[in-house]
Structure 1
């Protein structure tokens, strides 16, 4: 019987092993020499908290699910009902089709069909490839329609520094080379303003330090880069950990400490690190919003590796 998360595609190489679930083109498991690098989920489990999903055609939130584009007003379904937003796009629950299946590489595709709130036809191609550098994911959005389409993408992994101590986020050290943070409202996490992290020292991790009991569910930008590459690291006391890196296609990154006090089993068990091509609510603010012309495409990628 087909598992709830879809077909299971296993790839391996260079000490890494990953299982990709076809629903949402999600990274279900990722290990290096047997050590979890992300919080996994079961094959026959409805994916919790967008764990490992591919986010498109927008990451994060569209406030109130409403936006204007090319002179038309649109209303998206509110998929975050507790806060009244449209959350994490439309691709997370699509069934992706295999295009390439190799021992260390898979390529999957799905099409977002025109619908209420997003009347655009866009193909989402997702490639996963294991190399000595880790697991690289490449997401390509291709506009199959005749009108320009708004677009954004990103991943949703929950990184793990110490798999032997689940729930130990507080003890982990975070390195986050961002000098600006997008402040949000307390109740709905709606964007307020981009401000220097100097004004919010609790979210300043430019010098690596332990996370402690800090709550983070914010987007960061103004990223320091090395040859165009930004990297976030989370490490345990013994030096083991996980890093995710990406190029200038993603000028933003969302960090979330996975706070679910109502559910102890998932509370602060990993650190969500989500490189994003655009800011939260970019469909309204325009901050980083990509517009794909008819027959055009957009490519973004990121790599998760063991430390």
Structure 2
């Protein structure tokens, strides 16, 4: 264990290596700080002595994305969560994003981290959360597991997702090509990015969000959840696997893959920022078990009874 005086801002650093891949996990949030293939970034990295910017590489649980006003009803009771996205008045990205996670198991190619969500105002449930990272010559597998370890009988509302910003190659997202096999997009209010209607990508804004066939992102601005995910016919992986590809003009790229039955939603964000050095430098691809504000809509929300475990995983590989 590093002493506090020598400990980086982002926490203890765990380095993994396998074949041409290297990953670094920071213990604050068990965040994916770095993932490279032959020295090329596959995700937007951040420095060890930097407060994690823009949720890069974070684990999002027990909900991904936004809860309107931080308020919801469960079991007939009204709960209020802390509002941490002040400009939109939402509770954003769960309760473990700034936790110090414990390294519970490690090999040269893998690491598993654990954290506990304790019962609190707004979320009176105890969950044990694990984040496991495994490298191989085929890329990185990333899994988040949650178990309701509470002593009571009440089920816990639960959703999950990761927050990597994929990097296809040089430059910004404008010149990258996106292949996103999603037939529907969740339209949102412009001020708060909260869900309004579920629409077909082919007809919404003349196909503005339709990337079912690969096309260049150009000036497209996206911060939306997609569903109607189509499994790849030739992935050679498990039945139901969805594949998202981001490719640069030079031919380098990133593939992200997950099971669309467990994770039927994906948030995509073109990282539009006012700061020139941060604007559109990566494409957030966030597989999710439920859409934004699911604690209120109930859409695809998991109900974890005491003793029940939920597992979700995805992989990232170089193209």
Unpaired stretches in structure 2, ≥5 consecutive residues: 1-5, 233-238
Q: Note the C-alpha offset of 1:288.
A: 1.1
**In 2: Cα distance, 1:265 partner to 1:237 partner:** 21
**In 2: Cα distance, 1:195 partner to 1:42 partner:** 39
Question: Secondary structure at 2:295's aligned position in 1?
Answer: helix
**In 1: Cα distance, 2:303 partner to 2:168 partner:** 36
Q: Note the C-alpha offset of 1:132.
A: 2.4
1:230-277: per-residue Cα shift (whole Å, max 9, x none)?
01111001211001110121000000000012x111110000000001
Question: Secondary structure at 2:208's aligned position in 1?
Answer: helix
**In 2: Cα distance, 1:58 partner to 1:199 partner:** 29
**In 2: Cα distance, 1:231 partner to 1:58 partner:** 23
Pick one of 225, 230, 251 that aligns with 1:224: 230
Q: For residue 208 of structure 2, what is the aligned residue in structure 1? A: 202
Alignment of 1:4-83 (within 5 A): 4-83=9-88
**In 2: Cα distance, 1:22 partner to 1:123 partner:** 16
The question of 1:301 aligning with 2:313 is answered yes
Q: Note the C-alpha offset of 1:209.
A: 0.2
Q: Note the C-alpha offset of 1:14.
A: 2.0
**In 1: Cα distance, 2:78 partner to 2:137 partner:** 46
Pick one of 212, 222, 225 that aligns with 2:218: 212
Alignment of 1:105-184 (within 5 A): 105-145=110-150, 146=152, 147-162=154-169, 164-165=170-171, 168-184=172-188
Q: Note the C-alpha offset of 1:7.
A: 0.5
The question of 1:99 aligning with 2:104 is answered yes
**In 1: Cα distance, 2:288 partner to 2:43 partner:** 18
Pick one of 238, 248, 251 that aligns with 2:264: 251
Question: Secondary structure at 1:280's aligned position in 2?
Answer: coil
The question of 1:265 aligning with 2:265 is answered no
Q: Note the C-alpha offset of 1:133.
A: 2.3
**In 1: Cα distance, 2:76 partner to 2:159 partner:** 19
Q: Note the C-alpha offset of 1:220.
A: 0.1
Q: Note the C-alpha offset of 1:101.
A: 1.1
The question of 1:239 aligning with 2:251 is answered yes
**In 2: Cα distance, 1:232 partner to 1:73 partner:** 38
**In 2: Cα distance, 1:129 partner to 1:22 partner:** 16
**In 1: Cα distance, 2:268 partner to 2:96 partner:** 21
Count of matched residue positions in the alignment of Structure 1 and Structure 2:
303
- Report the TM-score, using the length of structure 2 for normalisation: 0.94
**In 2: Cα distance, 1:72 partner to 1:14 partner:** 51
* RMSD (Å), alpha carbons: 0.7
Q: Note the C-alpha offset of 1:137.
A: 0.7
